[in-house]
Amino acid sequence: MLPSPAFSQDFPPAEFSAGLRSQGLFERARAVFPDGTTRITVDRDPLPRYVSRGEGAYLVDVDGRRLLDLNANFTTLIHGHGFEPVIAAVERELRKGSCFANPTEAEVELASLLCERVPRLERIRFVNTGTEAVMFAIKAARAFTGRPCIAKIEGAYHGAYDWVEVAQASTPQDWGPADRPASTAYYHGMPASVLEDVVVLRFNDAAGTRRLLEERAGDIAAVLIDPMPSRAGLVAPEPEFLSTLQETARKHGILIIGDEVLNLRQGYHGVSARYGLEPDLFALGKIIGGGFPIGAIGGLSEIMAVFDSSRGRPLLPQGGTFSANPISMVAGHSAMVSLDRDALAHLEVLGSDLRKRLNDVITRTGAPLSITGAASLFRIHPRPTPPRDFREAYHAPTQARISKELTRFFVSHDIILPGGAAACLSTPMGEREIDAIVGVFEAFLAAKSALLEEIA
Ligand code: PMP
């Protein structure tokens, strides 16, 4: 049940932990998975919440608890769970077969829709995950330019390809000087050659970006950029930063890869178009699969020609057993058709309203918190002013505690709020859900004022 937006101090917080059935499943899981889970990103505080089903904006766990889902499988489910048009499309397609070595009409439909919507997305290839999309975009840039290196933003998440993992989890102990962010390893044993081939840039640092790109311009195939990197703070890009990055890249023949895996949802034409960035290549994923595995690489025809095998072996061969499987294609097409201008406008209004109301509460109470985000996305930061980059968004121990308490408090009140990543709204949400989020946030500030004093 949703809590009423009007909280009293003595509202009895429900237990934040998952229940007994989750506990039983986790015990079994620990016998078969290295830490009881199959991905590091699974929330466990203190144990994972096993899900029984989703219902629109909500999910129901195996213990029967119903929660508002602001995670939506890491922003994938823009129409929430069990979206009827997707179910119908998948049911129809499943009867015809789930995968073939041959192409299907479904892939042409989804590709056409995406190429029509996103400027400079002239040609496209489908894969199965955002990781693969980013990987092939980087390989395409290397194949096109003949250069080995990439540049990326400190703290930005782009999936699990080695080069993009560099400096993904830097800390104050190893991130190096402000004007020269270190290429830090993400996993034990990461080859030194990988670290050497990555130039790390600070988000919103226009001058530093120009200087660092120019220093190694002849070696850099592409600069990889998510215009609002969620794990690096979900920070808004400053126009001068993006324009400097773009000018410098163009001047030196460095390609721009727009990672829109998460942020395509910011607009009908995508996130780069929203902020005036003009990528040469794109990586897409998440929402374009309607809840099924997907990724896509796209961009200017001249560059995408590296995949062209019509005249023999291409510069960059690319395959994949499940790539462009018709189930992901029809699910994605159906979800994207429903994500029309009206649906995006609804999310835009809902998101601005939510961020404004959260900011109003902060101003009224003087709480040392801040809000970032755009369109259907938001993050609550345990710091009094919005961060400008990853280093500012980084949590010192007290901030980490506050962030954890915030997530716990929300779960106690039946709302799943991702910690350290973007929270998202979905099309089935309305005023009722916004009221609930704002109500729980207000109650949190009232209940945790002593803790918040520590960062004020
Ligand atoms: N790029 C960005 C910006 C992402 O947010 C993600 C996933 N969170 C990825 C790439 C990787 O996508 P996937 O998890 O589908 O491999």
- Check whether 31 has a pLDDT greater than 80: yes
pLDDT tens readout for residues 221-262: 999 999 999 999 999 999 999 999 999 999 999 999 999 999
Q: Give the pairing type, strands 198-201 and 295-299.
A: unpaired
Give the confidence band of 455 by pLDDT, cuts at 50, 70, 90: confident
Top-confidence residue, 1 or 225: 225
13 has a pLDDT exceeding 60: no
Are residues 229 and 136 both part of a single domain?
Answer: yes
Find the CATH number of the domain harbouring 287. Answer: 3.40.640.10
Instruction: Compute the distance between CA of residue 378 and CA of residue 11 in angstroms, rounded to an integer.
Output: 26
What is the structure's pLDDT at 310?
A: 97
- Is 100 found in the same domain as 64? no
**pLDDT higher than 70, residue 75:** yes
Which of 310, 338, 366 is the C-terminal boundary of a domain?
338
- 249-301, pLDDT tens digit by residue? 999 999 999 999 999 999 999 999 999 999 999 999 999 999 999 999 999 99
| Residue 31, in any domain of the structure | no
Q: CA neighbours within 13 Å on the CB side: how many for 194? A: 15
- Which contacts of 380-384 are long-range, i.e. CB under 8 A and separated by 24 or more positions? 380/406, 380/417, 380/423, 380/441, 381/233, 382/406, 382/455, 383/455, 384/455, 384/456
The DSSP output letter for 56 is B
Atom of ligand 1 nearest to the CA of 131: 16
Radius of gyration of the chain (CA): 22
**Are 251 and 372 in the same domain?**
no
- Are residues 287 and 348 located together in one domain of the fold? no
Which pLDDT band, with edges at 50, 70 and 90, does 419 fall under? confident
Domain count across the chain: 2
Do 259 and 356 fall into the same domain?
A: no
Kindly state whether residue 28 falls inside one of the protein's structural domains. no
Asked whether residue 441 is assigned to any structural domain, the reply reads yes
Of 12-26, 33-47, 58-72, least confident by mean pLDDT is 12-26
Q: Looking at ligand 1, which residue's alpha carbon is closest to its atom 10?
A: 158
Same domain, 272 and 139: yes
Nearest residue (CA) to ligand 1, atom 14: 130
| Best residue for ligand 1 mutational test, from 39, 73, 157 (most atoms within 8 Å of Cβ) | 157
Q: How far does the centroid of ligand 1 lie from the alpha carbon of residue 158, in Å?
A: 5
Q: Is the pLDDT of residue 8 over 80?
A: no
For ligand 1, the distance from its centroid to the CA atom of residue 131, given in whole angstroms, is 6
Atom of ligand 1 nearest to the CA of 286: 15
Contact by Cβ (8 Å): 63, 22: yes
Instruction: Check pLDDT > 80 for residue 145.
Output: yes
- Ligand 1 centre to CA of 132 (Å) is 9
Pairing of strands 123-127, 149-153: unpaired
Q: What is the mean pLDDT of residues 344-353?
A: 98
Rounded average pLDDT over 344-361: 98
Q: How many CB atoms lie within 10 A of CB 287?
A: 25
Last residue of a domain, one of 314, 338, 362: 338
> Angle 206-215/239-251 helices, nearest 10 degrees?
20
Pick the closest to residue 20 from 55, 53, 64, 68 (CA basis): 64
Residue nearest to atom 7 of ligand 1 (CA): 159
- Indicate the burial class of 35 (C-beta count within 10 angstroms; 0-12, 13-18, 19 or more): exposed
3-state secondary structure of 296: strand
> What is the C-alpha separation between 347 and 345, in angstroms, rounded?
5
Please give the backbone phi and psi of residue 149, each rounded to the nearest 5 degrees, phi first. -90, 160
Residues 344, 435: one domain? Answer: yes
pLDDT digits (tens, 9 = 90+) for 168-182: 999 999 999 999 999
Are 100 and 229 found together in one domain? Answer: yes
Say if residue 23's pLDDT is above 80.
yes
Going by C-alpha positions, the residue among 152, 68, 53 that lies closest to residue 424 is 68
Q: How confident is the model at residue 1 (pLDDT cuts 50, 70, 90)?
A: very low
Residues 355 and 429 occupy one common structural domain: yes
Provide the token pair at 286: 């998440």
Together in a domain, 398 and 321: no
Domain final position from 321, 338, 355: 338
Q: Does 116 reside within a domain?
A: yes
Task: Provide the pLDDT for residue 33.
Answer: 97
Of the candidates 396, 399, 415, the one whose C-alpha atom is nearest the C-alpha of residue 407 is 415
User: pLDDT value at position 69?
Assistant: 98
Give the full edge-to-edge strand order of the sheet including 66-69.
51-55, 58-61, 66-69, 415-416
Question: How would residue 421 be classed by pLDDT, with cut points 50, 70 and 90?
Answer: confident
CA distance 22 to 384: 36
Q: Separation of 60 CA from ligand 1 center, angstroms?
A: 25
Residue 225 lies in a domain: yes
Q: Are residues 290 and 390 in the same domain?
A: no
CATH number, domain of 408, equals: 3.90.1150.10
Active site residue 259: yes
The boundaries of the domain holding residue 416 are: 50-78+340-455
Q: How far is CA 106 from the centre of its chain?
A: 25
Q: Each residue of 111-140: pLDDT tens digit?
A: 999 999 999 999 999 999 999 999 999 999
- For 338-349, what is the mean pLDDT? 98
Whether 286 sits among the annotated catalytic residues: the reply is yes
Measured from CB, residues less than 6 Å from any atom of ligand 1 are 74, 129-131, 134, 157-159, 226, 259, 261-262, 285, 295
Contact, 444 vs 394, CB < 8 A? no
- Ligand 1 centroid, distance to 144 Cα (angstroms): 23
Share of the chain above pLDDT 90, in %: 94
Instruction: Say whether pLDDT at 7 is over 80.
Output: no
Active site residue: 61, 69, 259, 280, which one? 259
User: With 50 as the cut, is the pLDDT of residue 340 above it?
Assistant: yes
State whether 270 and 366 are in the same domain: no
State the pLDDT confidence band at 108, using cuts at 50, 70 and 90.
Answer: very high
Does the annotation mark 174 as catalytic?
A: no
Q: How far is Cα of residue 4 from the mean position of the Cα atoms in its chain?
A: 30
| Structural contact between residues 273 and 242, judged by C-beta atoms closer than 8 angstroms | no
Report how far residue 372's alpha carbon sits from residue 398's, in angstroms, rounded to the nearest whole number. 20
Amino acid identity, residue 19? G
DSSP 3-state of 199: strand
